[in-house]
Structures are given as structure tokens and as C-alpha cells.
Chain A
Amino acid sequence: MTEGTELAELRQEVRGWLDANAPTGWRDSNDDHEAFAQSQREWFAKLVEGGYAIPHWPAEWPGGGRNLAEQKVIYEELARADTPRLLLSFVSTYHAASTFFECGSQAQKDRYLPKILEGETWCQGFSEPNAGSDLAALKTKAERKGDVYVINGQKVWSTMAQYADKCLLLVRTSSDGPKQAGITYLLMDMKAKGVSVRPINQIQGDQEFCEIFLDDVEVPVEERVGEEGQGWAVAQATLASERGLTLMELSYRMRGALWRIAELIRKNGLEEDAGVLRDFGHLVARTDSACAIADQFLRNRIDGIERVGDASIVKNTYSRVLREYSLLGTRLGGMEEQYRAPITFGDLNTGNWMADFMNSYAWTIAGGSEEVQRNIISERMLEMQREPKNWVVS
């Protein structure tokens, strides 16, 4: 598509900035966790300085207030220049920020939003061993004692918790009534006494997520978002940002990484293989449709006409196309891909195809699994009847 002059200028500007500032060689150093975290921090600080870290934030923030078309240009250029995806600050700039913008008190906004730009990182402590898809069944307990909540329990699958300064924490403050009604949303300091973190080894050799153990951890009452017992509604704001906004960036990143398949086709001399070209052509169309649906979703959200289930469609589209992308790469790479090669932390389209394939499950499982999204689409959008509640399992 030919761009209007303003967008074309922005593209030139971003490209020029990236020529001077994009990190190089980060893929080689990234199989070392500390080096990875360090390079993530440096790259985030640079992006903040350049004004490209938070294009989706409101305009009063430096680098914020970009419209959709501008965001797209920025993400496309970041992907094209093969810059690292901001995994370490992902939860901070999306989940935490959206939660503050939508539900935070003024004091919380003033305290935490500027800190995010200074590099303070957040993790998300929602899931528990027995509360995954059924998140509202969470049991981590918080007892009010004067001005603090005292917390005991365990969280799991918390992305980047090993590096996080703060945690978006869901706790149970009451066991009465429906399970959603007893949930409260807290902001926890990861350095507080009684917090311990244990990284989990993943199948591709990464340690993206962690267990968090909470043993009499004290969180001041003013660190609560919303009222006691209203945490479920606040959590929806956090989750909505994950299902909607982030997918625009990721879809365009995937599109920007299609050259990796082209390169693989050339490397393996498959340029005239009709079957391979078809599969590639189909993937291109699927990727374009993932971008189109992410675009449409954000336009609808801005126009206030988002429907329940829309975000689920966006997520299930992106996550499936991501799987198809990495699977095609693995297939085209052939035997070569079966030799273990160093992985690149934090990126979904790295060109280490086996690792990318394994990593693609992150999007069909995390943030509400593909099956859970199907439930939402069928029951809430297509209005197919729900099963009776409260099955008794003997």
C-alpha cells in the first residue's frame, strides 16, 4: 500500500533512528540469561529515549499517542530491523500500564507509570497450580491486618518474574459467595520479605516463566487496585490488553519476519518447488489476515464497537498462524533443524525453527488457552447454550 506522506516520513525517521541505534549481535549473546536481561534493559532504555517504546500509551507520555497506522509503522520497522522484542518490559508496558490507565488510583498512576519508563519491570501473578483456565478458583490467601494484607500461597507460570521488581497479584480475600467475588487485586514488591522465585525450565531450554512462593508477605492496603473483592473486574482490564493490543505488534512482527521463510526456500534451493511456493503463499495470506483482523479489532475498540469474543478471534488467529509459520520453517529446514542450535530468548520468530515451534505454544496456552477462547466465541458470541453449572464429579 502506498503511504501518505506523514506515515512515509515516520517510516524514514524510524528507519534512520534504527540504523544508528538498533542493537546488533544480540542473537549471539542471548543464550545467557543475564546477558539477555541486560540487553533487554538497555534496548528498552534506548527505545524510551528514542520515543518508540510506548506508542500505544496516551499522548501525554513521551513517545505515546501514536495512532494505529503509526504504531503499525513502528512495529513493522522494529521487526524489519530485527531488533529484540521487549519481553522483559512486556508486562510493564502492556498489562501493568493498561491496568493503571483503566483502574488505577491517581496516586498509583503517578507512582508507577513514570517508573515503568525508567525501567521498573512488572510480572503477572495470576495463575496457580490449581487455577489455570479456571483462574477464579485461585486460592492464594490475603488476610487484612491493619494497614497491610498478609499473603500466603503460590503462583506459577509468571513470565520474567525472576527479573521483576513488582507483581500484579491476584489474591483471595474471601471464600464466601461466587468465587469471583472474593478476589482482590494487589501490587506487590518482589523484594518484599517472604517472596521467593524459582525459574522453570522449558522444553526449548528457556526459563521464561517462574513459580512464586508467598510466605507471610505483607502488602500495604494502598497497593490495592480497586476495592476489596473487585479484583476480578480489574483483572479483566489486564487480560484484555494482552488479548487485544499486543497482538497488533506481534502480528506485524510475524509479517516482518516472513523473509526468514523466503531465505530458507532459497538456501534449500526450493525456489521452483510449486508445493513449497503454495505453502509459502498460503502462509503469507494467513499472516496478512492475522494483521487485518488485529487492525480491525483495534479500530473497533477505538470506535467503541468491540463485541464480546472479538479479542478471542484475534488471539486464536494469531496463535494458529504463528504455529503454522514455525511449522513450515521446521519442515522446510529439514534435518538441519533437528540439530540443537542455540536459542534466542524472548523472540517468537527467531529462525531457530524447532525452538520457534515449541515457543509458539506460548500463544495457544497462555492468556486463556485456545480452547477457552473457543468457549468464549461459541457461548458468548454465537450464543450457543452453556452446559449446566456446578457439575458434580464423582
Chain B
Amino acid sequence: MIELNELKDAAQKAFPADQLSPDRDESWKLIAEMGWLMLPVPEELGGLGLGRDAATALHFELGRVLSSAPLITAMFSVQVLCAADKLANKAEWVERACSGEFITLNMLSNDVTLNDDGTLSGPLYAVPDADMASHVIVFVPGLSVLVPLDTDGVTVTERPLWDESRRLFEVTLEKCPVDRDLVIAEGDRSQEIGLGFKAESLLALAADSLGGATATLEMTVEYLKTRKQFNRPLAMFQSLKHRCADLKTQITAAEALLWSRAADMDASLADMGALKALAADVYQFVTEEAIQLHGGIGLTDEHQCHLFMKRAMLNLSLGGSGDELKERTGRQALAAFAAK
């Protein structure tokens, strides 16, 4: 059993804090070599069968360095494959995915429909790193299926982001045939799988956000301790101290919720959504403050502030907006506290 701390140490060694946004393709190779994709895979499928806190620890660490490798997506898709009950050669698929064949899926909703002739048509939004993926997993009501990206009728268009450490694509299907061997699940089961791992991807985005927020605050505090104005370190000004203390408090409280939700196997989709919304809000605020606290240098392309800020802004929207997620939590709580 790998200890969480060992995993964190390994991640910090592989992705040192002083190298932000390391090269995507090299990172991806490293991730596959380290066997990280096998963490959530059950032992009977050749994986390590580790709990969600292990994956959460990795996403947190990779968030700290603004990793550009699509680990969040990959873990999502690996788990979908593991849960498949219709897929031919499932074990082989899982092995392929674990050893570095990237299979992507959309992080926002899609408008794909199942045509009467059994083919699929429509766009999938916010598909990470489709350029390096062999397949995309498509969910339509009652069906989930792997679609090879080199099939006729698939177009892949990159939509450049402000956050250059992430790459998102729009994948459009035009009468793409469904290969029966590539069907993952059908009926309610398909829906269940999609929602189950959707919850995990929200947890992952929360971890990514809080890892990034932690790094941003550390960087900012360091800067304030060394930069001098008025013959003293900026850190000595109480107005700045108090802002840093508040950021630290917000990050720490959100992180406590992160670990408690990671361990809570009964957390609902709404609970994970609430966590992601909270974590993304904290990340956004920390990065907003970081630029202000750095002064002019924080607005320069060469400084790192903006890299975190852009990731934070992206994380606000990925996996669903805060508005949507908070409303869902409110609805769930309203139902939980039924009228007396």
C-alpha cells in the first residue's frame, strides 16, 4: 500500500516546484512510466486499487506546478473503461490506457445525438488534448462508446485558451458509426458510470485548484518578504499581511473539505460540485489578489502570476460553473431539510 505522503513526495520530485507548466508530452510519458494511471484501477484489472485520496494527492501536486498533462481527463476515462460492462477486450483496453494511450472525453456537456440509423452526430465541447488522443468517449442517453478520432466524420478543432497550460478541442461527429465492440455500457448503467466519474473529475478539479492556490500564495508571500519599499519588506505592512492571512485561511478551510470529501465515498455529485465551486472560487480570489500584491511585475508576461490566474479562471468554468453547481447544492440541501 503506497502511503499518501510517499506519493506526494514522488510527485514533487517528478514535477519540481520551480518548473511551471513542464512540457506536456514529456510529462505525459513520465506519468505513464510512474504508473499513476493505474492508481484507481481495481487490482483484478491489474491496477493498484487505491482510494480517491491517492488520485486527489496527485491532482493537487500537479495543480501546484500547472501541469499541462491531461491526468484529470485520463483518470476519468480509465475509470470509465474499468467500469465498462459491454466492452469487448476490456482488460486490454484498460492496459492500453494505463500504459499511456490517451483516451479523452468532454469536460462540458455535449450535443451529440444518436441518429435513427445508429450513427452519432453532433459536437462535444471542451475535449482536452484531443490532438494526442486515440479515442474519445461519447456519452449519449442510454449509451457510452469509444469513438476513434481517426474515423471518417470526426473533425477535431483546437480552441486556443487564455490558459496555455491546457489545450481544449471541439470534436464534431458527423454520422459516425457505433462499433459494437467499442460500446462501454448501455441503459441506466451508462448514465451511472458517467455521473460517477463526473463526481471524481469535480474532485480532481478542486484538488488542481487548491494545489495551484497554495503555490500562488507561497510565491506571493515569498515576494512580499523580499521586495522592499519604504525601507522595509512589504511583508511588514499589516494591510498586506492580513490579506495573506485571509487567503491562507480560505485555502486551508477549502483544503480540509477537499480531503474529507475525497475520503467520503457517499458524497453525492452535488457535494462534489459544491466542493469544486468553493475551491475554484478560492483559487480565483487568491490569484486575483496575487497580481495586485505583486504590483506591476504581476502584469508582465514573464512573471508567473498570470499563469495561475488563467488556470484559475479556466477552472471556474470547467466541470460546470459555480452558479450551476451552487444552485444544485442549494436544491439538494433544501430537499434534505424537508418541511417539518
Contacts and interface: CB of A to CB of B under 8 A. Distances in A.
A282 B326 contact: yes
Nearest to A265: B334
A384 B244 contact: yes
A284 B253 contact: no
B25 interface: no
A258 B274 CA distance: 16
A384 B225 CA distance: 6
Contacts of A290: 253
A288 interface: yes
A278 B323 CA distance: 6
A385 B241 CA distance: 9
A383 B232 CA distance: 15
Contacts of B331: 277, 281
Interface string A260-287: 0011011000010010111111101110
Interface in B264-279: 264, 266-267, 274-275, 277-278
A10 interface: no
Interface stretch (B80-88, B255-263, B312-320): B255-263
B229 to A, nearest CB: 13
B274 A288 contact: yes
Nearest to A285: B274
Nearest to A278: B326
Contact of A278 (B221, B235, B327): B327
Interface stretch (A94-102, A357-365, A368-376): A368-376
Contacts of B264: 1
Contacts of A286: 278
Contacts of B329: 280-282, 284-285
Interface residues of A, number: 45
B266 to A, nearest CB: 5
B238 A258 contact: no
B115 to A, nearest CB: 34
B328 interface: yes
B151 interface: no
B151 to A, nearest CB: 40
Interface in A364-394: 371, 373-375, 377-379, 381-387
Interface string B223-248: 01100000011011010111011101
Contacts of A383: 225
Contact of A378 (B241, B325, B337, B339): B241
Residue of A2, A292, A371 with most partner-chain B CB within 10 A = A292
Given A263-B337, A277-B327, A280-B333, A374 B225 contact: no
A107 to B, nearest CB: 40
A214 interface: no
B271 to A, nearest CB: 8
A316 interface: yes
A277 B330 contact: yes
Interface residues of B, number: 46
Contact of A258 (B328, B333, B339): B333
B2 to A, nearest CB: 20
B253 A313 contact: yes
A259 B275 CA distance: 20
A174 interface: no
A271 B259 contact: no
A282 B328 CA distance: 10
A303 to B, nearest CB: 13
A317 interface: yes
A371 to B, nearest CB: 7
A242 interface: no
A374 B330 contact: no
B277 to A, nearest CB: 7
A266 B330 contact: no
A289 B248 contact: no
A289 B330 contact: no
Contact of B330 (A263, A280, A379): A280
Given A282-B326, A292-B260, A313-B252, A277 B334 contact: yes
A284 B257 CA distance: 12
Contact of A289 (B225, B256, B340): B256
B321 to A, nearest CB: 10
A293 interface: yes
Given A277-B330, A281-B327, A379-B241, A263 B248 contact: no
Contacts of A379: 241
A293 B278 CA distance: 14
Contacts of B249: 312-313, 316-317, 377
Contacts of B340: 259, 263
A296 interface: yes
A293 B225 contact: no
Contacts of A288: 257, 260, 274
Given A258-B333, A384-B241, A285 B277 contact: yes
Contacts of A317: 249, 252-253
A295 interface: yes
A209 to B, nearest CB: 26
A2 B263 CA distance: 12
B254 interface: yes
Interface in A106-160: none
A140 B330 CA distance: 51
Nearest to A297: B256
Contact of A382 (B245, B253, B266): B245
A313 B330 contact: no
Contact of A295 (B225, B260, B266): B260
B238 A292 contact: no
Given A262-B337, A288-B257, A385-B235, A371 B242 contact: yes
B330 A385 contact: no
A72 to B, nearest CB: 12
Contacts of B278: 282, 285-286, 289
A281 B241 contact: no
A285 B241 contact: no
Given A263-B337, A277-B327, A296 B259 contact: yes
B242 A378 contact: yes
B337 A259 contact: yes
Given A281-B330, A378-B235, 12 more contacts: A262-B333, A262-B336, A265-B334, A277-B331, A278-B323, A282-B326, A285-B257, A285-B329, A290-B253, A313-B249, A373-B245, A384-B244
10 contacts: A1-B266, A282-B330, A285-B277, A289-B254, A292-B260, A293-B252, A312-B249, A317-B253, A377-B244, A384-B241
By Cβ-Cβ distance, the 7 closest A-B pairs, closest first, are A281-B329, A277-B330, A281-B330, A262-B337, A378-B241, A281-B326, A374-B245
